[in-house]
Amino acid sequence: MAVALDNNGRHQVVIIGGGFGGLYTAKHLAKANVNVTLIDKRNFHLFQPLLYQVATGTLSPADISSPLRAVFSKSKNTQVLLGEVNDIDPKAQQVIMGDKVIPYDTLIVATGANHSYFGKDNWKDLAPGLKTVEDAIEMRRRIFSAFEAAEKETDLEKRRALLTFVIVGGGPTGVELAGAIAELAYKTLKEDFRNIDTSEAKILLLQGADRVLPHISPDLSEVAAASLQKLGVIIQTNTRVTNIENNIVTFKQGDEVTAIASKTILWAAGVQGSPMAKVLAERTGVECDRSGRVIVEPDLTIKGYRNIFVVGDLGNFSHQDGKPLPGVAPVAKQQGEYVARLIQKRLQGQTLPAFHYNHVGSLAMIGQNLAIVDLGFLKLTGFLAWVFWLIVHIYFLIEFDTKLLVVFQWAWNYITRNRRSRLITGREAYVEAKTNNITQVAN
C-alpha cells in the first residue's frame, strides 16, 4: 500500500513500553514513512543489565538511563507519551489510556516482565526485587543501612542478622548482586567502620536449580560458583524458599529445612509477564504460558492478529529450539529490529521470513577481575572474561551518551575500590534517620 506523506494518511504504529524491545522497534522506524507513538510510564529508558551496580553503590541511576524524549528528539515521526495503558481494543484498533484512546494500525506490546514471587506477593516488601530505579535505590538503602545498623548494634545475634545478606535466585542478577555485596563487605567497607568487622558478613545465594547461571554451559557455571565462593559467597543450589517472616527466611534443600535470620533479603528469582499479558489474553484470546508470558507466532505477532506484535521479555517465542528464548536484552533488541523491518516490508506489500534469534552469548560479572563469558565457540573466565564483559557493556552503552561517564566511574572504582554512589536516600531513609537513633557508642 502506498503511503501518503500527509501525517493523517500515514500508517500509525503504537508501541507500549520503552525498554529494549520498544526502544529498538521505535529506533528502527525513525526514518520509516510511518507515525510512531511510544508510550511509557517513565520518561526514560533504563539499561537494566547494570541496575545491580546502582543497587550496590557503583553507578547513579542517570548513568544507566536515557531520557526517551532526548532519544527521539530529532525523529519527527515519533512522539513520546508518558502514561499507562489500561486497555486495548483490538477490534477498533485502539489503545486506551484513562479516558483517551489512541488509534493504531500496528501495535507493539513490549511491557516486559517482573520477578515472580510464586504466589507469595506479600514477600515483595520483605524481599524487594530489582526492576526499576526505585527498586535499586531501595535495595541500596537496605544494604548500606544494614551495615550502619550493625555498627550500632550491641546484641550479637541481632548484629549477625544485620550482617547476613540473603539473595534469592542464582541467575545473572542474583550472581552479580551476590558478588557485588561480597566485594562491598570484604573489601570496600573493611576500613570504614569502628565497631564491626564487615568481613564477618555472611552472603548467602539461594538457587532453585542445580547450579547457578543455568543458561550457560555447566563448566562455566561451575567456574562462576567457585569464583563466588572464593569471594566469600555461600551458594546453596536445589533450594526453594518456603517462608519469609519477621526477618527470618526459611528454605528447603531436599528434606532439609533451614531458617536463618537476615535483615536484608533480596529477590532475583522468577519471571512473571507484566499485567499487559492478561489484557491481551482477555481481548484477543491469545494464550499465555505459566509465567504469564504471551505465546507469540514465528513472526512475533499473536494468533489471529496480524497487526499486534509482542517483543522482548513479555513474549514466549519457542519456535527456535522448542524452549522459550531467554528474557535478555539481545533478544528484545533483535525482536524490535525485526518487527520494525517487517512493518516496512509489509507497507511495500512484502514480508519477511520468521524471526530467528542470533545468539550472541552470555555474560556475567562476578567481581573485580572476575567474570564469565560463554559465546559458544569461545569460553572465557577470570580476568580475560572480565575485560570482555567491560568492552561489551561499554559497546552497548554507545547509544547512551553516558558511556564515557560509566567507563570513568568503573575505572575510578577499580583504582580506589570506593563505591562513591553509596548514598542512603529516599523518603524512607530520611524518616529512618529521624527516628532510629543510634543504640550504642563505642570507640
Could you give the residue numbers annotated as active site?
176
DSSP 116-170: --TT-TTHHHHS---SSHHHHHHHHHHHHHHHHHHHH---HHHHHHHTEEEEE--
Q: How many CA atoms lie within 13 A of 72 on its CB side?
A: 27
Footprint (CB under 8 A) of a second copy, residues 409-438: 409, 412, 416, 418-427, 429-430, 433-434, 436-438
> Given the rule CB under 8 A, which of 36-44, 206-214, 301-309, 369-377 is the region that contacts a second copy?
36-44
Cα–Cα separations (whole angstroms), residue 165 to 141, 160, 161, 182? 13, 10, 8, 9
> Given the rule CB under 8 A, which of 186-194, 261-269, 331-339, 345-353 is the region that contacts a second copy?
186-194
With CB under 8 A as the contact rule, the residue among 193, 383, 395, 414 that binds a second copy is 193
With CB under 8 A as the contact rule, the residue among 31, 84, 199, 369 that binds a second copy is 84
For a second copy, the closer of residues 66 and 362 by Cβ is: 66
With CB under 8 A as the contact rule, the residue among 16, 20, 35, 161 that binds a second copy is 35
Least Å from the CB of residue 51 to a second copy? 13
Least Å from the CB of residue 67 to a second copy? 5
With CB under 8 A as the contact rule, the residue among 4, 70, 384, 391 that binds a second copy is 70
Least Å from the CB of residue 418 to a second copy? 5
With CB under 8 A as the contact rule, the residue among 53, 63, 174, 390 that binds a second copy is 63
d(CA 19, CA 311): 10
Q: Strands, E, within 286-358: which ranges?
A: 294-295, 301-302, 305-310, 315-316
For a second copy, the closer of residues 93 and 335 by Cβ is: 93
Which three three-digit cell numbers place residue 354? 520468521
Footprint (CB under 8 A) of a second copy, residues 114-153: 132-134, 137, 144, 148, 151-152
Which three three-digit cell numbers place residue 275? 499485567
- 375 sits near a second copy (criterion: CB under 8 A): no
Least Å from the CB of residue 99 to a second copy? 7
Least Å from the CB of residue 80 to a second copy? 8
CB 364 within 8 A of CB 371: yes
Q: For 282-316, b where at least 16 C-beta lie within 10 A, e where not — what string?
A: eebebebeebbbbbbbebbbbeebebbbbbbbbbb
